[in-house]
Amino acid sequence: MSVLPHLFRAMRPKQWTKNLFVFIALLFDAKLFVAGPLSRSLLGFALLCAMSGAVYLLNDIEDVEQDRVHPTKRNRPIASGVLPIRAAWIAAMVLPLVSLALAFTLDAGFGVILLVYWLNNVAYSLKIKHVVIFDVLSISLGFVLRVAAGVVLVPAERFSPWLFVFTTLLSLFLGFAKRRGEIVLLRGDATNHRAILEEYTLPFLDSMLNAITSATIVTYSFYTFSAVNLPENHTMMLTIPFVLYGIFRYLYLVHVRGETRPPDEMLLADRSLQFTVVLFALAAALVLYQSQLIALWQRVTGL
């Protein structure tokens, strides 16, 4: 049987939703319908998916023994044995080389960012994931680099620095939430699967999540009425409720429903979160593109 389906599954395509952060600059710089920036962002997204897939392969090779005794990770292709480690190693080496070559061809700045993204993830897989707090900071850096990649590819001339701060805080929230889910899922056996979990406790993680939740909401609120590229009537503030509900819904799932899945998997499973993301994107697009939409309406109706 071909190893390709198993190789693709080992690259965790469900987690490629994280790479959608590369489109933030395209959306918020009001260039979503401009052919050049859109095509460059799509290519950047594809290269980020290939690179992140290679990183997941490397991580699963490194953690294969721990994954084999994990209640869910033991079903991963490498841990279960359906994907030979040799084949995974080859893909983990070839994919970054090809991705970087194409990235530098697309844009030198994007190539540098993708290289830093790969180095950060390799360092995470080999060392940083065993260092308390720095492990989550490394995860956060990956999200910020995705946004920065989008800024370079667009290029976004008036991209608000508040969105970089918001991305940093939101990714820290997701990172600490992931650690919390792992501790709850594995309970007393957590440290046998991931040694770093010995350095975390549920009260500590909950206090971190509470602090970051407040900072995330305040930061996004500041963005909605202070960014120079937003409408002067501050209509972007109408998107704040969607951010509030999305965060509160996630906390509800964790604390009330007892969800332990990683945030990206929860997004793919929970209809309310999906609905909120879609409504947020539509609301933001209406605010950011209102002048283009009005002009289009006038052309169509002849008014």
Specify whether 179 is located in the same domain as 264: yes
The conformation of residue 76, written as its DSSP 8-state character, comes to: S
Show which of 131, 158, 185 is a domain's final residue. Answer: 158
Residues 179 and 256 in one domain: yes
pTM of the model: 0.86
Say yes or no: 100 and 151 in one domain.
yes
User: Are 45 and 22 a contacting pair, CB within 8 Å?
Assistant: yes
Whose CA is closest to 145, among 122, 177, 168? 168
Based on the structure, what is the number of domains in the chain?
2
Q: Are residues 18 and 43 in the same domain?
A: yes
Find the CATH number of the domain harbouring 112: 1.10.357.140
- How far apart, in Å, are the Cα atoms of 242 and each of 48, 282, 299? 27, 11, 31
Consecutive 10-residue runs of the chain (303 residues): their mean pLDDT? 84 89 90 90 96 92 82 84 90 95 96 96 88 93 95 86 92 90 73 71 92 94 87 89 94 88 82 94 87 72 66
- My answer on whether 112 and 192 are in the same domain is no
Let me know whether 81 and 103 are in one domain: yes
3 three-state secondary structure: coil
Distance CA 43, CA 150 (A): 11
Structural domain of 34:
1-158
Which has the closest alpha carbon to 212: 264, 172, 259, 154? 172
Q: What is the pLDDT of residue 193?
A: 56
Question: For the stretch 167-198, what's the b/e string if a residue is b when 16 or more beta carbons lie within 10 angstroms of its beta carbon?
Answer: bbbbbbbbbbbbbbbbbebbeeebeebbebbe
Confirm if 44 and 21 have CB atoms less than 8 A apart: no
Question: Residue 288: what pLDDT?
Answer: 86
